[in-house]
C-alpha cells in the first residue's frame, strides 16, 4: 500500500517538532520523503561540542516497514563534516545494524535512530575510519540499503 509512509511521517514530524532530546535538532522536512537533522555529541573529545553533524534521512513508500536510508552529509555552509568513526565511511555511509534489513524494526523512528547514532558516537574511543574506507568509498556504487555490511566488530 502506498499511503502508509505519508501518514506515519506526518505524525512523526508533528510529534518531534519542538521536542527532541538534547543535541538533536530538525533542520528540514519540507519534503516529507527527505529529512535533515543536526546532531552534536556530548562528552566526547573526538567530537567537540561545537562540531555539528548533518544526517540525511530518505524514506521509501514502505517506511516504516522498510528502514529509512540514513547517511551523514558534508556541507560547507554551515560547516558540516562527516564524523570520524570506525563504522562511518568518509562518504557518510553508516554501518549500523538497526539501519539494515535485518536490524530494522518498524517500531523505530527518526528520533530513535538519531539517538542510536548519537550514542554510537558518544561511546566511541577510536579516532579512525573503518578498515578499507578509501577502497570502499572509491568503489561503492550501491545505495546504503543495498549494501550488506559485515559487522566484524560488534563491540564498537
Partner 1 sequence: MASYQAEQLKEQGNAAFRNGEYEEANELYTQAVAKYSRNSLIYTNRANVRLKLQQWDGVVNDCSKSIEITGPNANHKAFYFLAQAQLGLHHPNEALSSALTAYEQVLHPHPAAKISPKDLEAFSTFVLKCKKAKFAARDRDRLRRQGDLRAELEGTLEAQKQRDLDEVTAQLRRGGLGNVEATELSKEIISTFDEKINSLRTTFAAADPADHKPREVPDYVIDMITFEPMHDPVITKNGHSYERATIYEHLKRSPTDPLTRDPLTINDLRPNFGLRAACEAFWDSGASEWIADW
Which residue's CB is nearer to partner 1, number 101 or number 152?
101
For 15, the enclosing helix (H) or strand (E) is helix 4-16
The yes or no reply on residue 105 touching partner 1 (CB under 8 A) is yes
Q: Which of 9, 52, 82, 95 is catalytic?
A: 95
CA atoms 137, 74, 147, 102: torsion sign:
positive
Taking CB under 8 A as the binding criterion, the range among 10-18, 36-44, 122-130, 146-154 that sits at the site for partner 1 is: 10-18
The yes or no reply on residue 34 touching partner 1 (CB under 8 A) is no
Could you tell me the CA-to-CA distances from 149 to 60, 68, 100 in Å, in that order? 20, 16, 8
Quick one: 22 exposed, middle or buried, by C-beta within 10 A (0-12, 13-18, 19+)? exposed
**Among positions 43, 45, 48, 107, the unique one binding partner 1 when judged by CB under 8 A:** 107
The yes or no reply on residue 146 touching partner 1 (CB under 8 A) is no
**Among positions 28, 49, 79, 101, the unique one binding partner 1 when judged by CB under 8 A:** 101
Residues 37-76 that bind partner 1 (CB under 8 A): 64-66
* Calpha distance 20→15 (Å, rounded): 9
Query: Which residues are CB-neighbours of 42 under 8 A, at least 6 positions away?
Result: 22, 23, 49, 122
Active site residue 114: no
Dihedral pair phi/psi, residue 42, rounded to 5°? -80, 145
**Among positions 28, 31, 44, 102, the unique one binding partner 1 when judged by CB under 8 A:** 102
Q: In the complex, which residues of this chain contact partner 1 (CB under 8 A)?
A: 1, 3-4, 7-8, 10-12, 14, 64-66, 101-102, 104-107
Q: Which residues are catalytic?
A: 95
Amino acid at each position: 500500500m502506498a499511503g502508509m509512509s505519508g501518514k506515519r511521517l506526518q505524525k512523526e514530524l508533528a510529534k518531534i517538532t519542538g521536542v527532541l532530546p538534547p543535541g538533536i535538532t530538525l533542520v528540514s522536512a519540507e519534503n516529507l520523503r527527505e529529512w535533515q537533522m543536526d546532531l552534536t555529541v556530548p562528552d566526547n573529545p573526538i567530537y567537540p561540542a561545537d562540531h555539528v553533524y548533518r544526517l540525511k534521512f530518505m524514506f521509501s513508500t514502505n517506511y516504516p516497514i522498510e528502514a529509512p536510508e540514513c547517511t551523514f552529509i558534508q556541507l560547507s555552509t554551515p560547516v558540516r563534516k562527516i564524523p570520524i568513526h570506525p563504522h562511518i565511511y568518509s562518504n557518510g555511509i553508516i554501518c549500523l545494524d538497526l539501519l539494515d534489513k535485518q536490524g530494522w524494526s518498524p517500531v523505530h523512528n527518526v528520533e530513535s535512530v538519531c539517538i542510536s547514532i548519537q550514542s554510537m558516537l558518544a561511546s566511541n574511543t577510536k579516532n579512525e575510519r573503518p578498515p578499507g574506507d578509501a577502497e570502499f568509498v572509491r568503489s561503492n556504487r550501491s545505495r546504503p540499503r543495498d549494501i550488506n555490511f559485515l559487522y566484524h566488530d560488534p563491540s564498537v
